[in-house]
Amino acid sequence: MLHLRTIVPTDRTDAVCRLLADAPGVTNVVVLPGAARAPAGDVVMADIAREAVNEVIDELKGMGLRRDGAITLEHIDLALSDHADRAERAAPGYDEDAVVWEELDERTADDARLSWSFLAFLAIATQLAAIAALTDSTILVVGAMVVGPEFGAVAAICYGLLRRRPRRVGTALRTLVIGFVVAIAVTYVCALVSRWIGVIELDRLPTQRPNTAFIYSPDRWSFIVALLAGAAGVLSMTAGKSAALVGVFISVTTVPAAGNLAVALALKHRSEIDGSLLQLGVNLAGMVIAGTVVLLLQRAVWAAVLRGRRRRAARAGT
């Protein structure tokens, strides 16, 4: 269940209450007349099943509440109520299958922005990956994958393509490009300094790296893994499964490829430069393709669920 809180101009309170009363999946409606001060109005609250959120939000926006009031959603960790149980049963489909599109819109908008924290996490992850390349350490490769924050920007590209928002796609692409350029540059400089002061004693990367050779040797499996990870990542974001999203981070070698690229540049190892660049591109492309396809399928499936519910409601009305 989600908790809905709205600030409603007083002349629209009755219409909002009728909407919530008629909508399946809504319960525990509370009205606080005149409670809101900025903006002024009534506060109307309700608990709503995740599956029913999109239609209710669309209706509220159609009433002008986004412009003249406010619409807020919060996750409910625990709801002990027979009314809530009945509301969930009345809502169409299953909550884990429902995508709250406004929530995804806000999340991808945040993830698409280039921030100092994004640059810092990506630079740290890339340096961990560079050390993994030098030491042939799978543990450090996994650590670098988990620390890397790049999937949020990838998901923003998928959402922008789905909703035909070129600005969202452009912002996310800019974030990825600048982020990886900065992270690789920082790691490259650190590798050069480490080589000059004797921390790195190699003239080139080791030729035998059984544990980490996959990060600069892309093949058909690299693309397949990227497709699967992109699909799983978008599903985990839309279903709120954070544990699954961590698994996605561990599956895709974008950050390890960037770390290997930085070290290969510092040690002038041309073959691994080319392989790392290709691995990075293959992974990003695979995730974008799969993520966009999953969002398209989710939108189509949920539209079919809603059409089925409307047909059943029409038959029941006749």
Quote the pLDDT of residue 218.
Answer: 85
Higher pLDDT, 312 or 38: 38
Task: Answer whether CATH 3.30.70.120 is correct for domain 2-98.
Answer: yes
Question: What pLDDT, on a 0 to 100 scale, did the predictor assign at position 313?
Answer: 61
Contact at 8 Å (CB) between 263 and 191? yes
Task: Please give the pLDDT value at position 311.
Answer: 73
How far apart are the C-alpha atoms of 30 and 4, rounded to whole Å?
10
pLDDT at residue 215, rounded to an integer: 86
Q: What is the pLDDT of residue 110?
A: 92
Residue 227 · residue 288 · CB < 8 Å: no
Per the CB < 8 A criterion, the answer to whether 156 and 112 are in contact is yes
Summarised one tens digit per residue, pLDDT across range 70-126 is 999 998 888 888 888 888 887 766 667 778 888 899 989 999 999 999 999 999 999
pLDDT higher than 90, residue 213: no
Q: What percent of the chain has pLDDT over 70?
A: 89
Higher pLDDT, 134 or 159: 159
148 and 142 in contact (C-beta within 8 Å)? no
pLDDT at 79: 83
More confident residue, 164 or 315: 164
What pLDDT sits at residue 76? 87
CB atoms within 10 A of CB 193: 12
Query: Each residue of 250-305: pLDDT tens digit?
Result: 777 789 999 999 988 988 878 788 889 999 999 999 999 999 999 999 888 877 77
For residues 205-233, give the mean pLDDT: 84
Q: What's this model's pTM, rounded to 2 decimal places? A: 0.85
pLDDT reported for residue 202: 66
SS3 204: coil
Say how many C-beta atoms besides its own lie within 10 A of residue 147's C-beta. 18
pLDDT at 314 over 80: no
139-153, 154-168, 298-312, range with the lowest pLDDT? 298-312
Question: CA–CA separation, 42 vs 30, rounded Å?
Answer: 10
The DSSP element (H or E) to which 55 belongs, if any, is helix 53-62
pLDDT of residue 238: 84
Domain range summary for the chain, segments of one domain joined by +:
2-98, 103-302
Task: Give yes or no for a contact between 254 and 150, defined as CB atoms under 8 angstroms apart.
Answer: yes
Give yes or no for residue 230 having a pLDDT over 60.
Answer: yes
Are the C-beta atoms of residues 130 and 89 closer than 8 Å to each other?
no
pLDDT digits over 16-72, tens only? Answer: 999 999 888 899 999 999 999 999 999 999 999 888 888 899 999 999 999 999 999
